[in-house]
Structure 1
Amino acid sequence: MDLTQAKSLFIEEASGLLASMESCLLEIESGEATVAEHIDAIFRAAHTIKGSAGLFGFDAVVAFTHNLESVLDKVRAAQLTMDAELINLMFGCQDHLSGMIQQLQDADFELDLQHGQWLLQQLAAYMTGGAAAQTEPPPAEEMQQVEHEHWQIDIEYGADVFRDGLKIKAHKIKSLH
């Protein structure tokens, strides 16, 4: 199997996992299922996407999904409650991940990087304080001001990576254009 076929297989698998994640979230939101019934499936979908993306060097997908997975892990451990606000955040993350996967397939697809940063801030707020810092994303005109910024994400794999997780550093780099 060549790399193009493997990438296509990853995109197909990730798309299916994201559809499953959305379905589980819809069932939790509607009350058709309890969080316990579906949170493990949502976590496994995110974990599989993260692992497969790592194999291909899709580092932005890995970094974003790692943050999503960390919040989901707190829900699994009953340290966070999957309330309406967190469900909405999970929908936003699922949608953003879908866009990230679509961009891998179609380089012309424009991903809203500012919205992705906002989602990461919300996830970080849940990790540190248990609730989102801001319930609404910044206005579209604010997002467009920084649309062409570029970020570099460095991932350090330490000796205890499986116990402690990844240490991710992000910093803005100069525009390539």
Structure 2
Amino acid sequence: MASDRRYPPGDATELEACDHRLALLEDRRDIEDAKLRFVESFDKATNGSSEFAASDFPIADTFSWTGEQFGIYEEVNGLNRLVTQFRDAFDMSLQYLSLVNIVIEPGRLAASGTWLVWHPLAIRGEPWILAGRYHDGFIRYNTTWLVSSVRLELELLVPWRTGWAAERFSDSWKWPPNVNL
């Protein structure tokens, strides 16, 4: 029976390979955590339950947020403007992320991540569904992964009560009281 091992037991190369794989797994976890903190902070601030603070999560000095339908917002000041505009227009925001794909560059100094986003929201009291993909960039600063870019690729933005959304979702979906149903 042939061994599936690439290296002899105890070989230094095998240990280095294991250490490298473990470091990549830890990087992936840290990148996912940075993205989740970003989304959670964004939702909380949009919902008005807290002030948005870029310090709530690590972002790079050169940070940019891009959404074709929403514009381009750069650095911390731009991100604060985006949240203010969303807070003025959105009464409720709750982003769901799934199917993450993170690619860490050789050298572990940069990474990219893609997430599917499913985003029930209320725009001026009316319920909507947004769906699409986030394409994010990350850079490593010392031992911390910083969000360097977020690009929203919008696939779907439809009213909840008509058309596509009305045909596919149950009337039992519970919206907050401030959403007109």
TM over 0.5: no
TM-score range, shorter chain: 0.3 to 0.5
Please say which structure displays the higher CA radius of gyration: 2
Instruction: From the two aligned structures, give the one with the greater strand fraction.
Output: 2
TM-score scaled to structure 2, two decimals?
A: 0.34
